[in-house]
Structure 1
């Protein structure tokens, strides 16, 4: 089981002080958070991709390349790489370069994002979101696996005799997760290729994501990649902890109430009841996270959002200490003990390379 954190990279004023970090401060804090994640024993750091204020991570591979130079074990990933508005050729080359720099500690999550204006900013039509995702990934898949590619599709100029460079490290492309919160077509796409499916279920009730994940598992088996329970699933989560649960609720409430994506909706208590958001003690985080397996089956990757809504860096680093010292060791022990032997771990560069050698 892989545990990690993901960041959306928002620049949000701290509601308790009214002070917002500068873009430079926020970017540097994301690096500090990644370094701390490795220090406390987490396996994954993932960053989103956004091209609009109040977010700063417009160039994920630039940030991850910098983090790669400052870490040794951490898997570097994205919590969204926009497959619809990025050129697949550029994705292929950027992530292969990052693979080499990070000695293979790289994977990525493809998604369509949640900002409609990004499509015309990059010359695309949002009404073609699903067809773009399907066609662009098919090209990306080929670019990583074929040394010379001839290509003609609907959404970009043709390629003739094209070779993307550098080639994937050891001839093994980065593992791909397909992220979706609403689209069965993306669950089908992940299943068709035998890739991972990441359900970032931090905003909607579990029943919605149970349907998506079950579809992915059924189609994964249908396409011959293994049994349904061997499909590779990742989940999101959102936590805020203090040793005393009342202190956690009291401290986090102003951040929840003023968060760009939460404020004005359900109360903190209502939202925590309906979604994976856990505000309380480390034991409460453990207990709620363990229910994810009951809802979705055995899964391979758990990522937590901990740095959203203007939380100070000091507070975020304290959250990482609690995760690393009190939460993750218990979750790892209990979830690994319950996972059947035939259910695989999350793929890594090493396991994918060994599989390629065997085949």
Structure 2
């Protein structure tokens, strides 16, 4: 089981002081949070991709490259790579380059984004969002697996005899997660390719996300990648902690009430009751996070959102200390209990290389046996 954090990179005023960080301060804060994530023993850091205020992470590979140079173990991922408005050729080359620089510690999560105007800004039509996601990933998948590509589709100019450079590290592309909060077509796409499926389990009730994950698991098995229980599932979550539950609620309330994404809507109490948001003690975070397994089955990755809504950097770093000291050891132990032996861990670059080599060896042995008959 992998644990990590993700950031959306919002630049939001602190409602308790009225101060808004500069873009530079927010970018530096995100990188400091990533370095802290490795320090406390987390496995993954992921950043969103946005091209509109109040968000700053418009160039995830630039940010992840900086973090790669300052970490040794942390898996570096996107929380959204816009497969609809980025050129698949550029994605293929940027992430392969980053993969080499980070010695394989690179993944990406594909998504369509949540901002309608981004489509015309990059020359696309939001009404074609799903077809764009399907076609662009088909090309990206091909670019990473074939040295010379001939290709034609609806949404970009054809390719003839094209080779993306650099080639993936060790001939193995970065692991891809397909992220979704509402689209069954994306769950189907993840299942078809045998990739990971990430349900960003933060805003809506669990029954909504259970339907998407169940669909993905069923279709993963249908396409012959393994059993439904062996499908590669990741979940999001939101937490805010203090040693004392009442202190956590009192401190976080003004941030919740004024957050751009959910402020001025349901109360904090309603939101924590009806969604995965946990505001309370470390034990409450542990207890609620463990219920995710009961709802969704054994899964491979849990990412938490912890640095949004104007929270100061010091507060976020304090939260990470609590996560590393009081929560993470317990969650690792509890999630390991009762985990079936045939449920795989989340893939890593090393495991993907080993699987590729094992398949090649088996194919070679099968061929030798066939020739000997």
TM-score range relative to shorter protein: over 0.9
1:154-198 Cα distance to aligned partner (Å, 9 max, x none): 000000000000000000000000000000000000000000000
Distance 1:141 1:114 in 2: 23
Distance 1:38 1:122 in 2: 34
**What residue is the counterpart of 2:344 in the other structure?**
344
Matched, 1:334 2:329: no
The aligned runs of 1:12-161 (5 Å cut-off) are 12-161=12-161
1:282-302 Cα distance to aligned partner (Å, 9 max, x none): 000000000000000000000
> Could you say which structure has the larger radius of gyration?
2
The alignment covers a number of residue pairs equal to: 359
1:7-61 Cα distance to aligned partner (Å, 9 max, x none): 0000000000000110000000000000000000000000000000000000000
Query: Could you state the TM-score of these two structures normalised by the residue count of structure 1?
Result: 1.00
Matched, 1:175 2:175: yes
Distance 1:337 1:58 in 2: 40
Structure 2 unmatched ranges of 5 or more: 360-373
CA shift at 1:339, angstroms?
A: 1.1
1:256-280 Cα distance to aligned partner (Å, 9 max, x none): 0000001111000000001100000
Distance 1:331 1:51 in 2: 35
Distance 2:75 2:325 in 1: 19
- SS in structure 1 at match of 2:346: coil
1:309-351 Cα distance to aligned partner (Å, 9 max, x none): 0000000000100111110110010101221000000000000
1:80-102 Cα distance to aligned partner (Å, 9 max, x none): 00000000000000000000000
**What residue is the counterpart of 2:371 in the other structure?**
none
Distance 1:339 1:306 in 2: 27
Structure 1 ranges of 4+ moved more than 3 A: none
Distance 2:91 2:332 in 1: 32
The aligned runs of 1:182-331 (5 Å cut-off) are 182-331=182-331
CA RMSD, 1 decimal:
0.4
**What residue is the counterpart of 2:5 in the other structure?**
5
Distance 2:339 2:194 in 1: 20
- SS in structure 1 at match of 2:77: strand
Distance 2:149 2:350 in 1: 26
Distance 2:338 2:298 in 1: 8
Distance 2:282 2:258 in 1: 24
- SS in structure 1 at match of 2:238: strand
